[in-house]
C-alpha cells in the first residue's frame, strides 16, 4: 500500500469524473475505464469518482462501492484517487469510507451532511469520526448543494486533526480561501473551474474540476501554469476556457458535461431520473462552445 496522502501532496488537477450509463440505465464499466485512461494520458493528478458529477445520489450502495473499486483498479497507482464517500448519515459515510480505504483509495472527499442540518458540534463529530478510519479526509464545502457552508470555526477546528488534509471550496468565495490559507495549513482545492485561477492566486493548491472531463489537457495546463506562478499564461488559458466553464453549468451538473462527452463520442448520453436531457436551446449553446474550442467538429 502506498503512503497516506498528506497536505503537501494534495496539489494539482483532480477530475470529478462522470459515471457513464448505458442506454438501459446500467453503469457503463467499459466507458468508465476508457474515460479513466484518457484522463491519465492527459496528465491529471487525480480522479474523484462518485462525487456530485458522478451522480452519487442515484447510485445504489453496491454501485457506489464498485465505481470506486473499478476506478482504483483502472488507475493502478498512476494518479491519485479521492473517493467520494460522504453521506447524510455518519454510519453510511463510515461504511463507504471503509470500503474505499480497503480498496486502496488515496483519500476521501466528504460532503457536508445535508437535509438533517447538523450543528457545528455535529459536523465536527461527523468529520472526525470519518477521519479516525485512517483514510485522509478532504472536506467538501458546497452550500449550493447542501444548503449551508461548513462554518469557518469548524474548518479551523478540523484542521487540527491530522487525518483532515484539505478542503474543496465550492462556495464561490475567494475570501474564504484567503482566510483558510492564512489561518491553517489545510490544502485548499477550488471546486469551481471559473475560480481556480483567483483561488490559486490566494493560496489554493489546485482544482477539483468538472471541465477537465471534456478538456483535461487544457485544464491541467491552466492549473500548472497558475501553481508555477506563470500567471500571464494562466490568465490566457483561463479566458480561453471561460465560455466552457459557464456552459457546463447552464443546467444542473452533470447534465451538460455528460451531454458534452456524448457529443464528443466518449459516452452515451444517459442519466437517471430525476436528472434528464438538456433543453434544446441550452444544448445548442453548449454545442457552439464545444465547436469554438475545437472539442467537436464543425
Q: What is the pLDDT of residues 19-35, one digit of tens each?
A: 999 999 999 999 999 99
Q: What is the pLDDT of residues 56-113, one digit of tens each?
A: 999 999 999 999 999 999 999 999 999 999 999 999 999 999 999 999 999 999 999 9
pTM for the model: 0.96
User: Residue 21 gets which letter from DSSP?
Assistant: B
- Catalytic residue of the set 14, 168, 258, 271: 168
Q: What are phi and psi of 178, to 5 degrees?
A: -60, -45
Residues 121 and 145 sit within 8 Å (Cβ to Cβ): no
Return the SS3 of 58.
helix
| b/e sequence 29-61, b meaning 16+ C-beta within 10 Å | eebbbebbeebbebbbbbbbbbbbbbbbebbee
Q: What whole-number distance in Å separates Cα of residue 191 and Cα of residue 104?
A: 24
- pLDDT, position 163: 97
Q: Give Cβ neighbours of residue 280 (< 8 Å, ≥ 6 apart).
A: none
pLDDT, block means (10 residues), the chain with 298 residues: 78 98 97 98 98 94 97 97 96 97 98 92 98 97 89 97 97 96 96 98 98 98 98 98 98 98 97 96 98 93
- pLDDT, position 108: 98
Q: What whole-number distance in Å separates Cα of residue 239 and Cα of residue 249?
A: 17
Question: Domains of the chain by range and CATH?
Answer: 12-228 (3.20.20.70)
- pLDDT, position 1: 42
User: Residue 27 gets which letter from DSSP?
Assistant: B
- Catalytic residue of the set 14, 114, 115, 140: 140
160 is catalytic: no
- pLDDT, position 115: 87
Q: Grid coordinates representing 220?
A: 491541467
Q: What whole-number distance in Å separates Cα of residue 58 and Cα of residue 96?
A: 15
140 is catalytic: yes
Amino acid at each position: 500500500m502506498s503512503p497516506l496522502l498528506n497536505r503537501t501532496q494534495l496539489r494539482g488537477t483532480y477530475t470529478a469524473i462522470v459515471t457513464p450509463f448505458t442506454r438501459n440505465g446500467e453503469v457503463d464499466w467499459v466507458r468508465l475505464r476508457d474515460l479513466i485512461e484518457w484522463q491519465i494520458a492527459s496528465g491529471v493528478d487525480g480522479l474523484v469518482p462518485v462525487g456530485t458529477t458522478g451522480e452519487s445520489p442515484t447510485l445504489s450502495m453496491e454501485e457506489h462501492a464498485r465505481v470506486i473499486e473499478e476506478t482504483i483498479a483502472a488507475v493502478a497507482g498512476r494518479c491519485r484517487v479521492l473517493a467520494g464517500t460522504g453521506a447524510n448519515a455518519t454510519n453510511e459515510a463510515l461504511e463507504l469510507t471503509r470500503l474505499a480505504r480497503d480498496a486502496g483509495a488515496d483519500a476521501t472527499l466528504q460532503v457536508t451532511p445535508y437535509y438533517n442540518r447538523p450543528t457545528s458540534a455535529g459536523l465536527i463529530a461527523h468529520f472526525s469520526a470519518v477521519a479516525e478510519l485512517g483514510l485522509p479526509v478532504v472536506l467538501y464545502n458546497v452550500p449550493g448543494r447542501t444548503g449551508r457552508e461548513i462554518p469557518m470555526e469548524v474548518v479551523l477546528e478540523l484542521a487540527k486533526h491530522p487525518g483532515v488534509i484539505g478542503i474543496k471550496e465550492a462556495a464561490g468565495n475567494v475570501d474564504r480561501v484567503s482566510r483558510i490559507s492564512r489561518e491553517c495549513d489545510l490544502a485548499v482545492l477550488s471546486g469551481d473551474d471559473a475560480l481556480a485561477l483567483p483561488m490559486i492566486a490566494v493560496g489554493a493548491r489546485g482544482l477539483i474540476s468538472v471541465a477537465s472531463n471534456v478538456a483535461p489537457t487544457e485544464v491541467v495546463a491552466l492549473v500548472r501554469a497558475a501553481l508555477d506562478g506563470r500567471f500571464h499564461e494562466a490568465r490566457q488559458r483561463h479566458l480561453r476556457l471561460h465560455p466552457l466553464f459557464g456552459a457546463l453549468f447552464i443546467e444542473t451538473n452533470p447534465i451538460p458535461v455528460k451531454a458534452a462527452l456524448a457529443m464528443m463520442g466518449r459516452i452515451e448520453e444517459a442519466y437517471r431520473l430525476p436528472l434528464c436531457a438538456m433543453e434544446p436551446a441550452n444544448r445548442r449553446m453548449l454545442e457552439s462552445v464545444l465547436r469554438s474550442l475545437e472539442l467537436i467538429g464543425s
